[in-house]
Structure 1
Amino acid sequence: MGRPNDEVAELFQEFADLLSITGEAAYKVRAYEKAARAIGGYSEDVSKLDLKGLRKIPNVGEAIAKKILDYQETGTIRQLEAVRAKIPAGVRALTAIPTLGPKKALVLYEELGISSVDELAEAIPAGRLEGLKGFGAKTEDNILHGIELMRRAGDRVLVDVAMGVAEEIIEALSPLAGRCEYAGSLRRCRETIGDVDILATADEPGPLMAAFVELPLVAEVIARGEKKTSIRTVKGLQVDLRVVPAESWGAALQYFTGSKAHNIRTREIAVRAGLKLSEYGLFEVESGDLVVSATEEEVYERLGLPWVAPALREDGGEVDAAIKGELPRLVQLGDLRGDLHSHTDLTDGTASLEDMVAAAAAHGWEYFAITDHAPNLFMQRMTDEKMLAQREAVHALGERYPDLTLLHGTELNIDPDGEVDWPREFLSGFDVCVASVHSQFTQDREVMTRRIVRAVETPGVHVLGHPTARLIGRRAPVDADWDEVFAACARHRTVVEIDAFPDRLDLPADLIRRALRHGVKFSIDSDAHATGHFANLRYGVGTAQRGWLTPDDVVNTWPLKRLLAYLRGE
């Protein structure tokens, strides 16, 4: 079923996109976009709020609040349906392509009659777009790349979507089960999830299976049995529930967590020891006697290995490291002492400075940085005066939170030449400056590398924000020589960010490991635009674990004094 806030947010984002196609005023489009972000990041469940409660959501006025109530009561928004009816379904299908905006989709439909992704994929190499205004060779390449991205994503969903489904199911089934947890790629914290694996124990599987297929999120029962039942949710995600005896729990959890490559390595170790490892347990080959199966720790120990964290189980060297006793002590969510990247409603956030600080304080952090956008991201309309006024407000607010040190920062824009907003003198007034690429994503490798390196070498830049600028399934990572970038970061002590937003998770795990070899330090940041976004830090931590990071590798696990000294270059 998914989180109600996310469902409503998707509807208002679609509303904004469709209004853009129909030529509505830009302020109306922005109003729905802001409402979508605010609803998606709001901490309370919108399905349980009345009109007065909905009006408390930032950027949600009475008209939008009434539309939310309309959706809760009828399952649809009448005004949205009316706009949908004005726009051919083919145009809406084309807008799903990353890099293809709604207006260009309408041109393709009206001028060439293209109404599907497959038709567009055939039309470009056939030369049908040649001469069409606004569709040069570079645009065509970008569209084809966007189609490739979309097809590669297939039916996979972002990790937070899968997590929401898994946790809803576990909450519902746990009263009927001895143990109930998610396994598979979700437990390994992969960026996207193809299907969700739920593992449970029960003396009698029947009641558990019956409850599973009756859950509100179930759209279709694919298969049903005593040991395994598979359903498809209303959002199209497949979920497999497996019920195992309590005494087999550890072996089953190890097996169904995977990955396949990791399991092959552990089974090879078992075979060399005269053992057989399966989802039922670890057995003596000759006698068939069960050796261990109750816990994962027992299974790994009997194989001569320490327990391997799920995030490492990708056959990326973790088995060899385990044999040598060299597995890292991975960073944990509880290790984070603060957050170095967040936004307020001064720019594109949806919550006030006061609300963001209160939410940060509720996490028990030692420090928290407010880093609103700088002026070169023109649509945010930042000025020197606004930023300096915010700095005063931050300092004043800090007096109300003696246990939380507030850091005043900014997110700078790395322009096409590698320049950043504001001169060095102005930058020196900030506690922390994050610099990120927000435009011109398709520059060639050499130009992009030079651009990023120049930014990280700039005095006053402390953090390279969401380094690849990717949006998973929607925008490809920029093309850069990452070894050169990471070497520059190491030389200039520029921290490399792991942006925890589920559609970013940027830096990705494979590049984290490359950066680690260069000796860089990292920050795991929420990039929160609403109070509810702090919850995404769990996915940033999972990505850091997949990159083999320890607490010492992550600067926002450090005490404030050590962090500030590092940022100052001391």
Structure 2
Amino acid sequence: MARLNDEVGALLQEYADLILLTGGNAFRARSYEKAARSVGGYSEDLAHLDEEGIHKIPGVGDSTAAKIAEYLATKHIAALDKLRAQVPPGVREITSIPTVGPKTAVQLYRQLGIKSVDELRAAIDADKVKGLPGLGARAVENIRQGIDQVSRAGRRSLLSTALDLAEELVAAISEVPGCTRCAYAGSLRRMRETVGDVDILATARDSAPLMAALRDRPDVADVIGSGPTKTSVRTAKGLQVDLRVVPTADWGAALMYFTGSRAHNIKLRGRAVKAGMKLSEYGLFDVETGKKLASRTEKEVYAALGLPLIPPTLREDRGEIEAALDGELPDLVTLKDLRGDLHTHTDLTDGLAPLEAMLEAAAGLGYAYYAVTDHAPNLAMQRMTDDKMLAQRERARALDRTYHGMRVLHGTELNIDADGGVDWPADFLAGFDICVASIHSSFNLDRGAQTRRLIRACENPFINIIGHPTTRLLDRREPIDVDLDAVFAAAGRTGTALELNSSPHRLDLNDEQIMAARRHGVRFAVDSDAHSVPQLVGNQRFGVATAQRGWLGKDDVINTWSLTRLRRFLRKSAVRE
């Protein structure tokens, strides 16, 4: 379920943005932006904090604390409401376009009266934007591409956003008197990286109370339609929710039908037809007699079709039915299989928590080992130095085994330069237990250059993992143009793991890329890329689900291995197992 911390963090971020949009002090805006990140990433729930507790949140001063307290008491922040009145909502929306900051958004508004993304698109089409200060032909084209990207992303929600809502709805509807079962289905149950709408399935003798519970929620902005079997609403954040209520006896068939992709369901129906049966959301029937053969559970319906239960994350018609028939469905990796996390950050760079807090949280997850991998110096904004990194190494060594015996690995996230080089020389890199290397700049290099830089990184004997290999951000940035097949081949050849970054904004590599890389013998690291305790605890469920969608088993993922086996793998000259 969504945390109050995230809600308040988003309001503080909006306040920071509006300070800049109204010409306010940039330093003040940055302080609120920092506070927004800190509140959102704080491990304790705001709902349980008193005034003293709020003041203990890093980056929260008296003014910010007062605004948080005001919101907790009234659900409003007067200063925020005042700034909102000065800026049309669409102007802030324009800043969500990649390459468009507050200064440009304000310039567009003041000089051309542009106050929405649609108006900006129309102005670009009419050639009214080019020529404004700082907006040459290339900048305008980048904005146009950014608008297209935002428009595509806007039609779907991140998996994490949809899942927060779905879990909240399932919990609420389950509490309605008369509800006997409730679960989410659709692409969300298949754990796709983005979700178009949220499908909720429930059972009850009388559907009316369940439908009313959904319609009457305060976050429902519009009731699209409502009847005895289905109600559709749209939330204030634009997500469509479809609630279906079915008879208890049909639960399995309905859950199966509303979970599988269209292609998966067509393949199943074809199999039923060949066997003289008919499959629908109401059950599996004998065509000749009309007798219902199976419907109560998914396992029962699959079994009647001559199949084992196929995990929801595989139901995409990518060979899972054929594999099931041959007894070759993968034994998928699970969250409980993870023994550690190999890509995390602390407040030494851009994380929000000290090393000790991250270690305590990792130990609480039952991890056998944990790697801290703060940023290297070429990411200049993080102000890393050799001395800072060596001091952290000494601290990590001192804390080794002190948290329930968990081993602490000292690592770093290196920056892959445009030519494939990294931050430190070989003698310095040799001192790390583990090195992740990622692209953080030069996103617009041509395909050949991007491919060469990643292959060179794979060939570096000190680089163990390529972090978020395509660099994409699902809601903000397109992936780089790269020959992934060549990179996968290099990773397989050199014994370099590829990351499945579990941040719901990344999920990079994605499921189809994982399947392609696996054919080259690549191993994978499912990492949180956590910058806070909540991310350390919460991100990995998304990465594991994506790993399952990519057909990965436990043996494919290096952070499910024992520390002894992992250390052998990290010595890239050793023979891979």
The equivalent of 1:427 in structure 2 is 429
After TM superposition, the score normalised by the length of structure 2 is 0.94
* CA distance 1:24–1:108, shift in 2 (3 Å): same
1:494 offset after TM fit, Å? 1.1
Partner in structure 2 of residue 475 of structure 1: 477
Partner of 2:492: 490
Say if 1:170 and 1:180, in contact at 8 Å, map to a contact too. yes
Equivalent of 2:259 in 257, 260, 280 = 257
* Counterpart residue identity of residue 541, structure 1: V
Match of 2:67 in 1: 67
Secondary structure class of the residue paired with 2:437 = strand
**Partner residue of 2:323?**
321
2 CA distance for matches of 1:203 and 1:118?
A: 47
Match of 1:167 in 2: 167
Report if aligned partners of 1:337, 1:556 keep a CA contact under 8 Å in 2.
Answer: yes
Aligned to 2:122: 122
> For the residues of structure 2 that align with 1:292 and 1:42, how far apart are their CA atoms?
48
Aligned partner of residue 356 in structure 1, secondary structure: helix
1:483/1:307 CA distance change after superposition, 3 Å = same
Tell me, in whole angstroms, the C-alpha distance in 1 between the residues paired with 2:11 and 2:563.
41
Matches within 5 A, 1:132-531: 132-175=132-175, 176=177, 177-531=179-533
Q: How far apart are residue 115 of structure 1 and its match?
A: 2.9
Tell me the secondary structure at the aligned position of residue 144 of structure 1: helix
CA contact (8 A) 2:200 2:242 kept: yes
Secondary structure of the residue aligned to 1:326 is coil
C-alpha spacing 1:210/1:130, structure 2 compared with 1 (3 Å): closer
Q: How many residues align?
A: 570
Q: Which amino acid aligns with 1:256?
A: F
Find the aligned partners of 1:445 and 1:136 in 2 and give their Cα distance.
25
Q: Does the 8 Å contact 1:457/1:492 carry over to 2? A: yes
Contact 1:98–1:473 at 8 Å: present in 2 too?
A: no
Report percent identity of matched pairs. Answer: 59
Gaps of 5+ in 2: none
Other structure's SS at 2:329 match: coil
Secondary structure (helix, strand or coil) at the match of 2:539 reads helix
In structure 2, C-alpha distance between the alignment counterparts of 1:41 and 1:545, rounded to whole Å: 27
- Kept after mapping to 1: 8 A contact 2:130/2:140: no
Taking the aligned partners of 2:311 and 2:395, their CA distance within structure 1 comes to 43
Q: Is the 8 A contact 1:470 1:476 kept in 2?
A: yes
Name the counterpart of 1:558.
561
* Equivalent residue, structure 2, for 1:110: 110
Amino acid at match of 1:235: K
In structure 2, C-alpha distance between the alignment counterparts of 1:26 and 1:386, rounded to whole Å: 28
Name the CA shift for 1:217/1:122 in 2 (closer, same or farther; >3 Å).
closer
> What one-letter code is carried by the residue in structure 1 that aligns with 2:221?
A
> Residue 90 of structure 1: CA displacement?
4.6
SS at match of 2:423: coil
Greater displacement, 79-88 / 540-549? 79-88
Structure 2 counterpart of 1:14, one-letter code: E
1:412 CA displacement: 1.0
Provide the rounded CA distance (Å) in 2 between the counterparts of 1:243 and 1:69.
41
Could you tell me whether the CA contact under 8 Å between 1:162 and 1:186 is conserved in 2?
yes
- Superposed CA offset, 1:322-345 (max 9, x none): 222221111111111110011111
Equivalents in 2 of 1:88, 1:276: separation in Å?
A: 55
2:78 alignment counterpart: 78
* Distance 1:367-1:481 versus aligned 2 partners, 3 A rule: same
Deviation at 1:138, TM superposition (A): 3.2
Aligned mates of 1:144, 1:485 — CA distance in 2? 30
Q: AA paired with 2:226?
A: R
Give 1:43 shift: 3.3
Question: 2:98 is matched by which residue type in structure 1?
Answer: P
> Distance in 2 between the 1:453 and 1:27 partners?
41
State the AA in 1 paired with 2:157.
Answer: V
Partners of 2:462 and 2:104 in 1: CA distance? 40
Any conservation in 2 of the 1:99–1:474 contact (CA below 8 Å)?
Answer: no
- More moved, 280-289 vs 510-519: 510-519
How far apart are residue 112 of structure 1 and its match?
A: 3.6
Q: Which amino acid aligns with 1:565?
A: R
Q: Which residue of 1 aligns with 2:551?
A: 548
* Mapped contact 1:90–1:109 kept (Cα < 8 A): no
Normalising by structure 1, we get a TM-score of 0.95
The two structures, once aligned, show a CA RMSD in angstroms of 1.9
Query: Could you list the per-position Cα deviations for residues 372-415 of structure 1 after superposition, in whole angstroms to 9, with x for gaps in the alignment?
Result: 11111111111111111111111112242252111111111112
Q: Can you list the C-alpha shifts for 1:32-80, whole angstroms capped at 9, x where unaligned?
A: 2222222222333323432222223332233222211212223332222
